[in-house]
Amino acid sequence: KKAALHVSKYFKVGEVDDRLYGSFIEHLGRAVYEGIYQPESPFADEQGMRKDVLKLVQQLNVPIVRYPGGNFVSGYRWEDSVGPKANRPKKIDLAWSVVETNQFGLNEFMDWSKKAETECMMAVNLGTRGIEDAKNILEYCNIKGGSYYSDLRREHGWEAPHDIKLWCLGNEMDGPWQEGHKTAYEYGRIAAEAGRAMKMLDPTIETVACGSSSLTMPTFGTWEDTVLMECYDQVDYLSLHQYYNNHADNSEEFLANTVAMDQFITQVISICDSVKAKKRGKKDIQLSFDEWNVWYHSNEQDKQIERWTQHPHQLEDVYNFEDALLVAGMMITMLRHADRVKVACLAQLVNVIAPIMTSDTGAWKQTIYYPFELISNLGRGTVLHTEIDVPFYESQHGDTPYIDSVVVMNEEKETVTVFAMNKCLTEEIDLSADLRQFEGYRVDQHIVLTHTDLKAENTEDQPNNVVPRNNGNAKLDSGRLNAVLPNQSFNVITLK
C-alpha cells in the first residue's frame, strides 16, 4: 500500500496548547494511596510521595492534572481533606463503594503537583453541593489571606495561595450514575451560577462546563445545547469524555474508533458555535477532552470488589500493544483539532486505567505510556494542515483511513515531526511527502512502536516487551520524504 502526505508550512491549524497533554488523578482505587502517596514505601520521600512515580510522571511531561475526580468529586467534602491528619474523618464514597480515609488531601495534592512539575485542574462538587461550596474552596485555594477560608489554609500550613487557574464545574452531570445527577437545564443553571460566583471571587480563573460523558449518551447533543444556552457567558470550555473498548475482539474496528472520536469533536464544536450564534456570543467555547483512554480490561474483575474497603485494586486495566496504538491515534485526532481542543486529560495517571503502575517493589510503564510520552514531548508547536491520500477500509464508523497522521512544526526548536499510525494489520505502507519547503532539514529520527502480537503487554516482570525503537527507515532526499510504516505501527519521524 502507498500513501502521500501533503503539507504546507503556511497553512496552520493552530498552536498546540501544552495542556493537551494533561492527565488525571482521582481518589479511586490505588491512584492516590499506593500510587502517588505511600508513606510506608521504601520509594517514599519525606512527605510520603512516591519518588519512582514522580520520576515517571516528569518524563511524561504532563502540564496539568485534573483532581480529585471524576465521579468521586460529586460527593466530595474538601474540608474533610485538609487540616491535621489525625482529625480527618473516614468517609463513605458512594461513587466507588469504598471508604476514603482523607489522609491525602487538597494541600498534599498541591505539593505533589509542584514535585511532579505540573499544575492542578481542580473540580468542584456540583452533585451533592453547590454554589456556596464552590465559592469556599476557591477562597481557600486562591485568596491570599484575611478571610475565613484563606486564613484557614494559612493555619493549616500553606501560607501562599495555590492560585489554581482552571476549574471544572462538576463531573459528568448527565450520567444517571452520578451523585446529584441533573437534567441539562438544572445543570446549566447551577453551572452558570457557580461559575458566576467563582469568577466574581477570582476573575483570573477559567471554568469548564460538563458536556456529555460519552458520544453514546442518549442525551448527547441536546445536553450540550441546553447547558451552554444557560451558562455560555460563565464558562470557557465544554468537556468531552470518551473511553473505548475491544470487548468484541475486533482490532480493525477497535482502531477505527479514531474516526468516531473525530466526529465527536467536530459535532461538539458545531454545537458550541451554534449556541454562540444564538447568543450573539463574542467568544468561542473551547473544548476540554478531560477524560479519554481505553477502559475495559478490568470490568469483570471489578465486579468482585468487596464494598466499603479502602483503596482496593480497582480499574487496573493491563494494557496491550493495540491499546497503545489507539492511544496514539486518539492523540493524533485531538492534535488535528488543536485550534479548538485546548485541554485534554489522559484518564488516568497511576494504577487506575493508567500508563504507570506500582507495586511494593517498584513502578513500571504500561504499553500506553510510550505513545503518550513521545507525543507529549515531541508534539509541541504548531499543527499544520495536512491531507493524506491513503486507502480506506469500511468500519462501523464509515470510511476509515489506514493511516492517522498529523504534522507538528516547532519554530523555536526548528523541528518538524510527523506522527503516523498505520492501522493496517497485514501490510506495511510506503509513506511519501514533498517537503521541499523545509529547506536544510534532515531526518533526525524515525521511532517505531510495533509488535507482532497485538495483545502483547508490559508487566512488572517483563516491562520492556512493548517499547519504541529508533529503527525506522525514513529518508529525506532532495526534499522528498520516504518512509516505510510497518503494519500495525505507530511512527514518529522528526526532521531537524
Q: By the criterion CB under 6 A, which residues form the site for ligand AHR?
A: 26, 69-71, 171-172, 213, 291, 347-348
Q: What whole-number distance in Å separates Cα of residue 494 and Cα of residue 176?
A: 45
User: Does the bond joining 70 to the residue before it have cis omega, within 30 degrees of 0?
Assistant: yes
In the bound state with ligand AHR, the residue whose beta carbon lies nearer, of 69 and 381, is: 69
Active site residue 291: yes
How is residue 185 written as a grid cell?
A: 437545564
Which residue's beta carbon is nearest to the bound ligand AHR?
70
CB of 70 or CB of 472, closer to ligand AHR: 70
Parallel, antiparallel, or unpaired: how do β-strands 429-434 and 403-410 relate?
unpaired
46 flagged as catalytic: no
Q: Which is nearer to ligand AHR, 178 or 367 (CB)?
A: 178
Q: In DSSP terms, which residues pair with 469 in a beta bridge?
A: 448
DSSP code, position 142: H
Show the cell assigned to 272. 458550541
CB 468 within 8 Å of CB 480: no
Shorter beta-carbon distance to ligand AHR: residue 57 or 294: 294
Considering the complex, state which of residue 214 and residue 410 has its C-beta at the smaller distance from ligand AHR: 214
Cis amide prior to 348 (ω within 30 degrees): yes
Closer CB to ligand AHR, 319 or 419, in the complex: 319
Pairing of strands 403-410, 382-389: antiparallel
Residue of 100, 119, 230, 291 marked catalytic: 291
Residue 486 zone, left/alpha/beta (φ > 0; ψ -120 to 50; rest): beta
The C-alpha cell of 217 is what? Answer: 449518551
CB of 468 closer than 8 Å to CB of 370? yes
Which of 29, 63 has the CB closer to ligand AHR?
Answer: 29
- Give me the least distance between CB of 291 and ligand AHR, in Å please: 6
Q: Give CA–CA dist 492/55, Å, rounded.
A: 23
Contact 480, 431 (CB under 8 A): no
| Plot region of 163 (φ>0 → left; ψ -120 to 50 → alpha; else → beta) | left
Distance from C-alpha of 67 to C-alpha of 311, rounded to nearest angstrom: 16
Structure-block grid coordinates of residue 69: 475526580
Cβ of 360: how many Cβ atoms within 10 Å? 10
Catalytic residue among 79, 108, 139, 172: 172
Residues carrying an active site annotation: 172, 291
